[in-house]
């Protein structure tokens, strides 16, 4: 119990602004200023997906598989919609305290729970396929590939489960520091390899079939006198592009790592918690202070920084067309130019806030708010 309190306390202390509305002595969130509107966000459809996150920091993200969108709420409701119209296909009440998901693949919809469970539903019907127990609360979206479901839990365990039955195939663990942020990066699966980040600042590559470790790389090394100063969690989900892994840690480094051998190609000091995105030339990062950066993909050199959203608990970025999209704690979706980071569009999605990065689908954006609002937008050039 004491460790759980420490985890939550660290998140509130370090976030820059509180998700829970409590006053503190931190720098206040930046006020939204007028901007040169060059882009309109048009609703394709909007849907209500239940109670949302219920004011808890859990990773409920929309997932797309083909022409279907899947979403869940904290109270255990899971939905499937058509991508084009938002029409409901099915709705399942699991009655579980969902803390992560959904993850989608191989005919399954996967959910993690606060009571250390993985739930697998049939993607076509929503019917329960299986339920498996893991070692602790699941805060990372479960992944599936090659017939294996990969679940990462808050206690530093990475577990492989049989996708047909939920039977445990392997487990690989890491020691969790005394004090960590509440969250876990989502594992990646690429070419039969699982890539996962841990609270000790290390990345590991494992064989998905056996759990055998292929390589391990230190993205950040804990330093400082206090446990608070030594937090180096990898909670921002890494990104793979052209054989290179891009990853950042809290109070540590942003790094580009060779996917084959775990060798660092470049790194730079940066505190990352919310997330990052990569295109053909750039890496986009939301840092600890909610400032959004564009970096050169080949070297990590700074290209621009947007400071107008400072301390607004900005999400990780999404690249959509010629733009970068982020959400904030008041539920605003901001559109930035990829050229210079200037704000060119904005709309409000959910007054309860946006906790997770938008999902880019070509020239469209799928956004899920903390209050359960799910919306698909198109971006259209034009001025008021």
The answer to whether residues 49 and 368 touch, using CB atoms and an 8 Å cutoff, is yes
Q: Which of 347, 346, 337 is nearest to 292 (CA)?
A: 337
* Residue 5 three-state SS: helix
Residues 324-363: pLDDT tens digits?
Answer: 999 999 999 999 999 999 999 999 999 999 999 999 999 9
Classify residue 34 as exposed, middle or buried by CB count within 10 Å of its CB (0-12, 13-18, 19+).
Answer: exposed
Taking the CB of residue 8, how many other CB atoms lie within 10 A of it?
15
* Residue 170 three-state SS: strand
DSSP secondary-structure letter at 187? P
Q: What Å distances lie between residue 211 and 4, 171, 238, 364, CA to CA?
A: 28, 7, 19, 36
Q: Which residue has the higher pLDDT, 57 or 221?
A: 221
- Across the range 146-173, mean pLDDT stands at 96
At 178, list the tokens.
């005394």
Question: What is the spatial distance between Cα 77 and Cα 94, in angstroms, rounded to a whole number?
Answer: 6
Q: Which residue has the higher pLDDT, 59 or 98?
A: 98
* pLDDT value at residue 20: 37
Q: How far apart are the first and last CA of the chain?
A: 53
* pLDDT value at residue 383: 56
pLDDT at 56 over 90: no
pLDDT at 10 over 60: no
Question: What is the spatial distance between Cα 123 and Cα 128, in angstroms, rounded to a whole number?
Answer: 10
pLDDT at 3 over 70: no
Q: How confident is the model at residue 55 (pLDDT cuts 50, 70, 90)?
A: confident
pLDDT at 17 over 50: no
Residues 221-267: pLDDT tens digits?
Answer: 888 888 888 888 888 899 999 999 999 999 999 999 999 999 999 99
* pLDDT value at residue 4: 37
Query: What is the percent of the chain with per-residue pLDDT over 90, rounded to a whole number?
Result: 79
The answer to whether residues 368 and 59 touch, using CB atoms and an 8 Å cutoff, is no
pTM here? Answer: 0.91
Domain locations in the chain?
A: 2-381
User: How many residues comprise the chain?
Assistant: 384
Question: What is the spatial distance between Cα 72 and Cα 111, in angstroms, rounded to a whole number?
Answer: 9
Residues 308-329: pLDDT tens digits?
Answer: 999 999 999 999 999 999 999 9
- Contacts of 170 by beta carbon, 8 Å cutoff, 6+ apart: 159, 160, 210, 211
Class of domain 2-381: mainly beta
* pLDDT value at residue 359: 97
Residues 286-308: pLDDT tens digits?
Answer: 999 999 999 999 999 999 999 99
Question: What is the spatial distance between Cα 23 and Cα 15, in angstroms, rounded to a whole number?
Answer: 12
pLDDT at 58 over 70: yes
Rounded (10°) CA dihedral 171, 156, 69, 315:
-160
Classify residue 30 as exposed, middle or buried by CB count within 10 Å of its CB (0-12, 13-18, 19+).
Answer: middle
């Amino acid at each position: 119990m004491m460790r759980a309190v420490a985890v939550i306390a660290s998140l509130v202390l370090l976030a820059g602004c509180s998700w829970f509305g409590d006053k503190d002595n931190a720098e206040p969130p930046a006020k939204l200023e007028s901007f040169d509107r060059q882009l309109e966000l048009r609703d394709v459809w909007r849907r209500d997906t239940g109670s949302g996150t219920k004011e808890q920091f859990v990773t409920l993200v929309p997932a797309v598989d083909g022409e279907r969108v899947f979403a869940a709420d904290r109270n255990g409701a899971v939905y499937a919609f058509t991508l084009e119209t938002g029409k409901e296909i099915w709705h399942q009440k699991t009655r579980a305290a969902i803390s992560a998901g959904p993850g989608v693949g191989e005919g399954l919809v996967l959910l993690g729970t606060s009571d250390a469970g993985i739930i697998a539903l049939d993607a076509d019907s929503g019917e329960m396929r299986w339920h498996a127990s893991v070692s602790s609360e699941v805060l990372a979206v479960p992944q599936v590939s090659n017939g294996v479901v990969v679940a990462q839990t808050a206690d530093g365990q990475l577990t492989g489960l049989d996708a047909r039955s939920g039977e445990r195939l392997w487990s690989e663990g890491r020691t969790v520091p005394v004090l960590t942020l509440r969250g876990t990066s989502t594992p990646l699966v690429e070419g039969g390899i699982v890539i996962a980040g841990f609270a000790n600042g290390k990345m590991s590559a494992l064989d998905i079939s056996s759990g055998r470790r292929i390589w391990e790389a230190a993205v950040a090394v804990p330093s400082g006198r206090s446990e608070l100063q030594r937090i180096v969690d990898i909670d921002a989900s890494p990104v793979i592009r052209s054989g290179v892994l891009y990853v950042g840690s809290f109070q540590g480094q942003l790094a580009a790592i060779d996917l084959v051998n775990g060798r660092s190609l470049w790194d730079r000091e940066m505190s990352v918690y919310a997330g990052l995105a990569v295109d053909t030339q750039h890496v986009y990062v939301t840092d600890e202070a909610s400032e959004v950066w564009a970096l050169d993909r080949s070297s990590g050199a700074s290209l621009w920084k947007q400071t107008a959203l400072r301390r607004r608990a900005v999400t990780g970025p999404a690249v959509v067309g010629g733009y970068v999209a982020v959400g904030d704690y008041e539920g605003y979706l901001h559109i930035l130019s990829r050229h210079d980071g200037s704000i060119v569009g904005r709309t409000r999605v959910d007054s309860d806030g946006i906790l997770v990065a938008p999902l880019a689908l070509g020239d469209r954006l799928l956004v899920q708010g903390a209050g359960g609002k799910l919306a698909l937008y198109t971006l259209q050039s034009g001025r008021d």
